[in-house]
Amino acid sequence: MTGCSTKKRRYKNDIDAQQALNEIKKRAARDKVPIRFYPCSLCNGFHLTSSPGHNGKPKELKLYKLFLKYLHK
């Protein structure tokens, strides 16, 4: 696993990120745990975050809806 300039752990694709997220959730013994993953434009990989995203919605969902809106213009 190569790194990212953000110093965060980089996952090469969404499948790896989801698997890591599932494993962490299973054995988490701390209060703050990652709840989602997101794409990184700096390393073209994925990172985990404990942030729910903007307005409580995952950022990926917000971007997807924006993309769909753009397609239907």
- Spatial CB neighbours of 55, under 8 Å, sequence gap ≥ 6: 62
In angstroms, rounded to a whole number, what is the distance separating the alpha carbons of residues 65 and 69?
A: 6
In this prediction, residue 19 carries a pLDDT of 95
List the pLDDT tens digit at each of the 73 positions of the chain.
Answer: 567 888 899 999 999 999 999 999 888 777 788 988 989 989 989 999 988 775 555 566 667 777 777 777 6
Q: Residue 59's pLDDT is what?
A: 62
Rounded to two decimals, the pTM is 0.65
Q: What are phi and psi of 52, to 5 degrees?
A: -75, -15
